[in-house]
């Protein structure tokens, strides 16, 4: 690394208001540290406990989901965790490079969850849990339903083609102080 490159990266961080960015295999230990640092950041912006819990739930679920998706060996440790800020909102992103062959199936499940009306999410979540044998439960579907249920919003995601073999898949959650006060979340 050199100072010129560092300045370029810093400019990117500043222009998009990225606060923390970490690259790696977001395993349990690293996730715990990330949760702590996120907790401190959120405390500074006076986010209440309920909202914090939702964010932590999002981080844990997404990190676990991404860790379970099949990846090529060279991308096993290439996950990114990012906290960004836009105006008064904070955004939490988790992204990873996954195998192209996994992409369609994953997006199909996300779209399946996003197609459900918000007032039916909770019922679908419990239906999925109770209508199947444990071995038949799709953990990814349950996890996404859980996120949607808690955050009361559609799953925000993007996928970008990296090359023929790989896609970059990321999830995003927006923490808005406005949402805290206008009653949408409370």
Partner 1 sequence: MESTINIYELFSTMIKHNVILIYHGMFDQEMIKSVLIMTEKKLEQEKVEEALKKKLFNVMIEGLQNVAKHQMVLNPENHPFLMIGKDRDSFSVVTGNYIHHDKIMIVREKIDKVNSLNKEELKEYYKQARLKSVISEVGGAGLGFIDMARKSGNKLDYQFFEMDANHSLFILNSQISQ
Interface residues toward partner 1, by CB under 8 A: 1-10, 12-14, 16-25, 27, 29-30, 32-34, 36-37, 40-41, 77-78, 80, 82, 84, 86, 91, 93, 95, 158, 160, 168, 170, 172
The distance of closest approach from Cβ of residue 138 to partner 1 in the complex, given in angstroms and rounded to an integer, is: 25
Would you give the end-to-end CA distance of the chain in angstroms? 46
The distance of closest approach from Cβ of residue 45 to partner 1 in the complex, given in angstroms and rounded to an integer, is: 11
| Alpha carbons 69 and 71: distance in angstroms, whole number | 6
Helix axes 139-151, 121-131, angle to 10 degrees: 150
CB-wise, 37 or 180, nearer to partner 1? Answer: 37
CB-wise, 137 or 156, nearer to partner 1? Answer: 156
The distance of closest approach from Cβ of residue 35 to partner 1 in the complex, given in angstroms and rounded to an integer, is: 10
Closest to 51 in 3D by CA, of 64, 65, 39, 37: 39
The distance of closest approach from Cβ of residue 51 to partner 1 in the complex, given in angstroms and rounded to an integer, is: 19
CB-wise, 162 or 184, nearer to partner 1? Answer: 162
Cβ pair 96, 80 in contact under 8 A = yes
| Alpha carbons 95 and 66: distance in angstroms, whole number | 8
């Amino acid at each position: 690394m050199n100072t010129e490159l560092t300045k370029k990266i810093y400019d990117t961080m500043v222009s998009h208001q990225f606060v923390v960015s970490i690259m790696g295999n977001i395993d349990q230990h690293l996730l715990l540290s990330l949760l702590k640092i996120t907790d401190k950041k959120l405390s500074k912006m006076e986010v209440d406990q309920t909202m914090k819990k939702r964010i932590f739930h999002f981080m844990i679920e997404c990190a676990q989901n991404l860790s379970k998706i099949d990846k090529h060996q060279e991308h096993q440790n290439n996950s990114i965790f990012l906290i960004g800020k836009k105006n008064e909102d904070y955004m939490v992103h988790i992204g990873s490079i996954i195998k192209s062959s996994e992409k369609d199936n994953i997006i199909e499940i996300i779209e399946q969850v996003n197609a459900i009306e918000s007032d039916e999410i909770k019922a679908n979540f419990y239906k999925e849990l109770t209508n199947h044998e444990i071995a038949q439960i799709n953990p990814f579907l349950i996890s996404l339903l859980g996120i949607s249920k808690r955050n009361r919003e559609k799953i925000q995601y993007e996928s970008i083609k990296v090359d023929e073999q790989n896609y970059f898949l990321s999830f995003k959650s927006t923490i808005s102080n406005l949402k805290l006060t206008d009653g949408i979340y409370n």
